[in-house]
Amino acid sequence: MEVKAVEFVRKAHEALHNPRLQEALRRTEAKFVQGRREALRHLEDPDAVRRHATAIRDTVLRQLDAWLIHFERQAQARGATVHWAEDGREVARILTDIARRHGVRKAVKSKSMVSEEVGLNAALEAAGVQVVETDLGEYILQLAEEPPSHIVAPVLHKTRDEIADLFARHHGRPRKTDTAALTREAREFLRPHFLSADMGISGANFLVAETGSVLIVTNEGNGRLATTLPRVHVAITGIEKVVPTLEDAATLLRLLPRSATGQDITNYVSLLTGTKQAGDADGPEHFHIILLDNGRSRLLGSELEPILRCIRCGACMNHCPVYQSVGGHAYGWVYPGPMGSILTPLLAGLERATPLPNASTLCGRCAEVCPVNIPLADLLRELRHVQQVRGLRPRLETLSLRLWRALVLRPRLYHAVMGMAAWLLTRLAGARGRLCRLPGAAGWFAHRDLPAPAGETFLAAWARRRGKP
């Protein structure tokens, strides 16, 4: 997927003026935020579970290599083949290789963010493989030729009416607007694909080292069909997704759906272990697991490592006031919201995502809800620091900060300048008591007035008062 994160401001502007999107965002915010709050109440001590989950993730990250090798051994022992991919190009090569070897003409896909990350569909289609998205949301986006706008609810930005139009156009059936009818129609179109596909592609919510299993959670059951019906199953996931034991996976599963959609548990939790064995009713004959690095291992041991704890629940975006205002497309890549503002620069390149680390008020609501306690605001600030060190901050900002720093560290000068500013601003505001514009401050005054100051700084007034008898 192309990285368009530098266009954040323009895309945010469009989003703010798109009434349908605004309506959709308001609705989902209400649903997800409230849903999470309710669902967490069903846990006896949610914060203890969150601490435990954090510890599990950290344990893995501290010795990621060892856990991955452990996982690989267990998966191999059960008949799976594990591939290691440095970047998206390698994933494409490995996957097209597999497809060619098994004579694959059609692949059905369950939802996978990593596949968006590496532009998998395009690569497969270039290799002559037809790709069908089977997650309802992803299917809709495939018809609309749009990227997802949310990692859990990819079509969050679309209204039912738009979807009805889309289906009518592509399916050639009478237009319907009822959700159940639309879902049924999609199902009718998707079912034959499951049966005729040679390959199923999925992501992984977790990789269980103990058993070599790939764990996926879905709400639609399409994941189970895609991973068990076709002859070949390929699971593609980031290397950070491994957890030590089934018990650990269970702990994380207590948080993932609750944080994501406000469900106590998702409709389907599939634990995919090895290939079809003699006596098994179903399952793939060939099971390949592609472990993607794509810049992740570079983060290990760095200040930014905690982002690798992420379990992709989406709670941070659901609760982020900026995401709630502009939606996911404004962020310009696969991962939106606070976690995306960290992941996009790290995985796709800081130069290609300069606005993102700054597109946050650092209000901290994201970290407050993150089930694995990722200090998202601190990481955003850390990225700003990296930008500063690498000279990627706006020139004007750097210049004015340098000027301001020179003042702050020289109190006498600072107070003289402040005194003048207080006097001047008050004069400019006049009887109205507020300023409506000021040269060089368009960013503020385009949207707001500024209440006038009192004419004298506190410290000057205080000194004067103390000087009096």
What is the rounded distance in angstroms from the CA atom of residue 280 to the CA atom of residue 276? 6
Residue 311 as a binder of ligand SF4 (CB under 6 A): the answer is yes
Write the burial class of residue 109 (CB in 10 Å: 0-12 exposed, 13-18 middle, 19+ buried).
buried
Question: Phi/psi at 410 (nearest 5 deg)?
Answer: -125, 85
Size of the site for another protein (CB under 8 A): 62
Member of 203, 212, 314, 327 binding ligand SF4 (CB under 6 A): 314
The amino acid present at 7, given as its one-letter code, is E
Torsion sign over Cα 169, 172, 175, 177: negative
Residue 350 as a binder of another protein (CB under 8 A): the answer is no
Residues 6+ apart with CB under 8 A from 363: 321, 377
Member of 316, 322, 347, 377 binding ligand SF4 (CB under 6 A): 316
Contact 328, 336 (CB under 8 A): yes
- And the tokens for 166? 């889309």
Helix locations, 102-202, DSSP H: 113-117, 120-126, 136-144, 160-171, 179-196
Contact 104, 196 (CB under 8 A): no
Angle formed at CA 290 by CA 285 and CA 294, multiple of 5 degrees: 170
Residues 370-429 that bind another protein (CB under 8 A): 381-389, 393, 397, 401, 404-405, 407-409, 411, 414-415, 418, 421-422
Residue 359 as a binder of another protein (CB under 8 A): the answer is yes
Residue 38 interacting entry, from another protein, ligand SF4, none, C-beta within 5 to 8 Å by type = none
Residue 370 as a binder of ligand SF4 (CB under 6 A): the answer is yes
Q: How far is the CB of 310 from ligand SF4 (least distance, A)?
A: 3
* Residue found by looking up tokens 């000087």 in the block: 467
- And the tokens for 124? 């497969």
Q: How far is the CB of 233 from ligand SF4 (least distance, A)?
A: 26
* C-alpha 255, offset from chain centre: 17
| 396 DSSP β-pair partners | none
Q: Which stretch binds ligand SF4 (CB under 6 A): 60-68, 108-116, 312-320, 411-419?
A: 312-320
Residue 166 as a binder of ligand SF4 (CB under 6 A): the answer is no
Parallel, antiparallel or unpaired: strands 206-208 and 213-218: antiparallel
What is the rounded distance in angstroms from the CA atom of residue 117 to the CA atom of residue 119? 6
Q: How far is the CB of 206 from ligand SF4 (least distance, A)?
A: 12
Q: How far is the CB of 312 from another protein (least distance, A)?
A: 23
Q: Which stretch binds ligand SF4 (CB under 6 A): 81-89, 142-150, 323-331, 371-379?
A: 371-379
Residue 253 as a binder of ligand SF4 (CB under 6 A): the answer is no
Residues 106-145 that bind ligand SF4 (CB under 6 A): none
Residue 290 as a binder of another protein (CB under 8 A): the answer is no
Q: How far is the CB of 317 from ligand SF4 (least distance, A)?
A: 7
The smaller minimum CB distance to ligand SF4, of residues 286 and 365, is found at 365
Rule CB under 8 A: which residues touch another protein? Answer: 9, 12-13, 16, 321-322, 325-326, 358-365, 367-368, 381-389, 393, 397, 401, 404-405, 407-409, 411, 414-415, 418, 421-422, 434, 436, 441, 443-444, 446-451, 453-454, 456-459, 461-463, 465
Rule CB under 6 A: which residues touch ligand SF4? Answer: 259, 310-316, 339, 370-372, 374
